[in-house]
């Protein structure tokens, strides 16, 4: 249990504020208690230890009638460089908690530097004349980097820190006024770049140790936010990636690492997603690497060439044509209008252009895409899966129909149904493609492996004929 001490006043004071929260006032210095050893101090105190001051008879009489007890939470506090003012709890002998500023005041002494600090609790009002004394230790741990009290000295174009008790720091980091400084072997505060055990460090013209982003010599650098050492390579800051060259300078523009290209914005920010660079559109993955070839973004396919530039328009790949949006390069599907023609990009075929084929929609409409992919003929699919041809005005087509766009003939029976396979028309045999119904010409091989020759009019040739400078005898095939 703490014992009450009577100490003489020899200086200015710290006056307590209301309810246990001290308020800075003129300083008071006390002579130290006899049993208050100086612990953890880097410099010795200059206060002389004095014996306790005996109270007068009137003090004894008042103290006996209005006594109180006081306590603080801890007996030891870490050095902070500022005045340490522990909260004081005061109770009357009856157990009633007294009120600061009404029943008592609190005074502190020697409460900045490491060593023994003193507290005087003096009664006021109804408790005037009652007093008690407390003490606590201020220690400075080995890892405490807060400088001991002192002042800056400018000498020979350099700054150093002079302790109030004499001497100076060297070969160490110290915190002064909230900023960190490094003092070299001669005790001078560092400026500019300095190489230490964990790498390069940067100090401002005012000697402050810089951390985070710092600009010098026309370049940006990133200094570890804890140690202050200069970073190189990839750095994640505020959820964004940056790249620092071997010199530590922040990289901007194109960057090749291994086999991958990256784009760093003028701000140094690593690009992801789509970026327009010097008029060309590029796409970068979430890891920042530039995409080439086919890739998916938000469930949509895109294609970039070897340089990474996003392709647009028609693109021929692996024996198929694809259509990529002219603005953002997204692969298009379904019916698309290009330069006045309609095309169909089949999603079931990975977006490939349909050519020489009929496209049947869910509503039963039929569209024929010629060799260029352009839709040149329309129709409807009936209940027995036959296609009935219609012209541009929607009227049924009967008999031969010439498609100028496809440069080919189709044939519909009297009901308008598209005919396919071998057809005997007007005593002449014709072969209409088994899938598309397009009239075949020239040499033709059927599903049985037999060869036929069809004139430009589509009629099958029989007997001896000179074809392509050769003589052939073509037998009449009896069908049906």
pLDDT tens track for 231-252: 999 999 999 999 999 999 999 9
Cβ burial of 462 (10 Å; 0-12, 13-18, 19+) is: middle
Residue 380: partners with Cβ closer than 8 Å, 6 or more residues away: 364, 365, 366, 387, 388, 390
pLDDT surpasses 90 at 217: yes
Confidence tier at 413 by pLDDT (50, 70, 90): very high
Beta strands in 278-338 (DSSP E): 280-284, 293-297, 300-304, 313-317, 320-324, 334-338
Kindly state the average pLDDT of the residues 156-161.
96
Cβ burial of 224 (10 Å; 0-12, 13-18, 19+) is: middle
**Whole-prediction pTM:** 0.70
Highest mean pLDDT: which of 148-152, 367-371, 373-377?
Answer: 148-152
Exposure string over 264-274, b if 16+ CB within 10 A, otherwise e: beeebebbbee
Q: Which residue ranges form the domains of the chain, and what is each CATH number?
A: 68-139 (2.60.40), 357-474 (2.10.270.10)
pLDDT surpasses 50 at 221: yes
pLDDT score at 64: 42
pLDDT surpasses 90 at 337: yes
More confidently predicted of 449 and 99: 99
CB atoms within 10 A of CB 74: 10
More confidently predicted of 148 and 58: 148
Tokens of 2: 């703490």
pLDDT surpasses 90 at 191: yes
pLDDT score at 476: 54
Confidence tier at 58 by pLDDT (50, 70, 90): very low
pLDDT, one tens digit per residue, over 64-116 is 446 899 999 999 999 999 999 999 999 998 899 999 999 999 999 999 999 99
For residues 379 and 388, give the distance between their C-alpha atoms in angstroms, rounded to a whole number: 5
Beta strands in 44-130 (DSSP E): 68-72, 76-78, 88-92, 104-109, 115-123
pLDDT surpasses 60 at 139: yes
pLDDT, one tens digit per residue, over 15-42 is 333 233 333 333 334 444 444 433 322 3
- Dihedral (Cα; 397, 400, 402, 408), 10-degree rounding: 120
More confidently predicted of 44 and 96: 96
For residues 291 and 276, give the distance between their C-alpha atoms in angstroms, rounded to a whole number: 14
pLDDT surpasses 90 at 147: yes
């Amino acid at each position: 249990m703490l014992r009450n001490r009577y100490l003489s006043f020899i200086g200015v004071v710290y006056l307590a504020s209301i309810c246990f929260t001290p308020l800075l006032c003129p300083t008071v210095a006390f002579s130290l208690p006899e049993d208050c050893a100086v612990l953890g101090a880097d410099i010795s105190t200059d206060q002389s230890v004095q014996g306790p001051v005996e109270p007068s008879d009137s003090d004894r009489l008042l103290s006996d009638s209005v006594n109180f007890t006081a306590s603080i939470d801890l007996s030891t506090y870490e050095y902070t460089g500022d005045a340490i003012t522990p909260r004081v709890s005061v109770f009357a002998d009856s157990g009633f908690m007294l009120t600061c500023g009404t029943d008592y005041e609190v005074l502190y002494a020697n409460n900045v530097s490491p060593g023994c600090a003193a507290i005087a609790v003096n009664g006021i009002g109804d408790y005037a004349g009652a007093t008690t004394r407390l003490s606590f230790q201020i220690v400075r741990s080995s890892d405490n980097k807060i400088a001991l009290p002192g002042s800056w000295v400018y000498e020979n174009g350099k700054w150093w820190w002079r302790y109030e008790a004499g001497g100076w720091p060297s070969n160490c980091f110290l915190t002064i006024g909230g900023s960190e400084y490094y003092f070299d072997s001669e005790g001078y505060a560092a400026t500019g770049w300095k190489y230490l055990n964990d790498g390069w460090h940067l100090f401002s013209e005012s000697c402050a140790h810089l951390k985070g982003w710092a600009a010098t010599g026309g370049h940006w650098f990133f200094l570890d936010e804890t140690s202050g050492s200069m970073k190189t390579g990839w750095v994640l800051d505020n959820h964004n990636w940056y790249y620092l060259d071997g010199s530590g300078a922040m990289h901007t523009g194109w960057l090749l690492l291994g086999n991958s290209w990256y784009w760093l914005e003028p701000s140094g920010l690593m690009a992801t997603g789509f970026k327009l660079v010097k008029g060309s559109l590029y796409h970068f993955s979430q890891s920042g690497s530039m995409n080439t070839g086919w890739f998916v973004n938000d469930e949509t396919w895109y294609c970039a060439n070897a340089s990474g530039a996003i392709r647009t328009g028609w693109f021929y790949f692996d024996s198929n044509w694809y259509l990529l949006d002219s603005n953002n390069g997204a692969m298009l599907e379904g019916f698309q209008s290009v330069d006045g023609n309609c095309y169909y990009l089949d999603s079931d075929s990975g977006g490939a252009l349909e050519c020489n084929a009929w496209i049947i929609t869910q509503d039963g409409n039929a569209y024929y895409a010629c060799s260029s992919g352009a839709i040149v003929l329309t129709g409807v699919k009936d209940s027995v899966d036959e296609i009935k041809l219609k012209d541009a005005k929607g009227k049924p087509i009967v008999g031969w129909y010439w498609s100028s766009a496809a440069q080919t003939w189709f044939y519909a029976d009297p009901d308008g149904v598209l005919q396919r396979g071998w057809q005997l028309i007007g005593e002449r045999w014709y072969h209409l493609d088994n899938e598309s119904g397009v009239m075949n010409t020239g040499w033709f091989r059927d599903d049985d492996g037999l060869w036929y020759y069809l004139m430009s009019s589509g009629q099958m040739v029989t007997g001896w004929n000179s074809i392509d400078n050769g003589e052939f005898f073509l037998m009449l095939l009896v069908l049906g």
